[in-house]
């Protein structure tokens, strides 16, 4: 059974930093690209960032480019999102999502339960 | 980026009725790389349809997708109580992947 378990969310002040983790199980983690997708309270879904299965290619939404860094540790089956210079508009539930391919296709067949990040003073 | 516009915003129907949800893209979606997801309150999205018309694993056949180019449709043939939720379309043919704003299907 595929499982994705996010952690690391919480309350942070504007300008602060936070690192999200997503522990994966039930599939060969290194064979699949992974993404982070966020959802602001009461709003729709927004793709944030993606990383290929090998970790050699990364992609970012313009809204987070230069502030967020996606990475993965295939020896630990874990995905990360380092978030710096956080803004109020980054407040959202952050989901990790498994791609259907090793390269980043952008089609997500499994999602974690989400981790809430709140940016507020 | 490709902008997806879903209509209607809310669809009020009764169990057993047919639901038709629309998704229109600002540019042609290459290779029909269009997906539909279902999201219930407090839950993560669930993949229903990919490639515009292929059902994901375990999805009942009352869910069907159609369309190509810029116009796509999700049809639920007979609504079951568990189908009342928010539905999002998503294109993955061109980076960045983008989602529609969602259609809420609620109980009339």
- Closest in B46, B95, B101 to A44, CB measured: B101
Asked if pLDDT for residue A114 goes beyond 90, the answer is yes
pLDDT of residue B31: 78
| A105 phi-psi bin (left φ>0, alpha ψ -120 to 50, beta other) | alpha
Average pLDDT estimate for B76-97: 96
Percent of chain A with pLDDT over 90: 96
pLDDT in tens, A47-62: 999 999 999 999 999 9
Q: Cβ–Cβ of B95/A44 closer than 8 Å?
A: no
Q: What pLDDT is attached to residue A105?
A: 84
Pairing, β A115-119 against β A10-12? parallel
Q: How distant is the Cα of B97 from the closest Cα of chain A, in angstroms?
A: 6
pLDDT of residue A91: 98
Section B70-97 average pLDDT: 96
When scoring B42, B97, B99, B104 by the number of chain A Cβ atoms within 10 A, the one with the most, hence best to mutate, is: B97
How far away is chain A from the Cα of B18, in angstroms, using its nearest Cα?
A: 24
User: Is the preceding omega at residue B52 within 30 degrees of 0, hence cis?
Assistant: no
Is the pLDDT at A102 greater than 80? The verdict is: no
pLDDT above 70 covers a percentage of chain A that reads 100
Whether A45 sits inside 8 A of B45 (CB atoms) is yes
Burial class (CB in 10 A: 0-12, 13-18, 19+), B16: exposed
- Give the tens place of pLDDT for each residue, A86-99: 999 999 999 999 99
Q: What is the mean pLDDT of residues B72-91?
A: 97
Higher pLDDT, A109 or A102: A109
Q: How far apart are CA B33 and CA A16, in angstroms?
A: 37
Whether the per-residue pLDDT at B35 is higher than 90: the answer is yes
pLDDT of residue B32: 85
Which residues contact residue A28 at a Cβ distance below 8 angstroms, ignoring those fewer than 6 apart?
none
Q: B23 φ, ψ to 5°?
A: -140, 120
Query: Residue A103: pLDDT above 80?
Result: no
Rounded Cα gap, residues A44 and A42, in angstroms: 7
* A101 confidence band (pLDDT: 50, 70, 90): confident
């Amino acid at each position: 059974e595929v499982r994705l378990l996010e952690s690391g969310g919480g309350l942070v002040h504007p300008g602060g930093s936070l690192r999200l983790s997503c522990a994966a199980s039930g599939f060969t983690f290194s064979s699949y690209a992974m993404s982070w997708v966020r959802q602001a309270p009461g709003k729709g879904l927004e793709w944030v960032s993606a990383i290929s299965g090998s970790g050699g290619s990364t992609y970012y939404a313009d809204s987070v480019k230069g502030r967020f860094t996606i990475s993965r540790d295939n020896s630990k089956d874990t995905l990360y999102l380092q978030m710096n210079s956080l803004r109020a508009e980054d407040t959202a539930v952050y989901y990790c999502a498994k791609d259907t391919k090793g390269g980043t296709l952008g089609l997500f067949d499994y999602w974690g339960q989400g981790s809430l990040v709140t940016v507020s003073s | 980026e490709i902008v997806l516009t879903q209509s209607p915003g809310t669809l009020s129907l009764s169990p057993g009725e047919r639901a038709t949800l629309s998704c229109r893209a600002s540019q042609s979606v290459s290779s029909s790389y269009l997906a539909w997801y279902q999201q219930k309150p407090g839950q993560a999205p669930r993949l229903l349809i990919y490639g515009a018309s292929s059902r994901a694993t375990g999805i009942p056949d009352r869910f069907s997708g159609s369309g190509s180019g810029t116009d796509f449709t999700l049809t639920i043939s007979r609504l079951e109580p568990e189908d009342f939720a928010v539905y999002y379309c998503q294109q993955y043919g061109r980076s960045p992947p983008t989602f529609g704003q969602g259609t809420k299907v609620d109980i009339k």
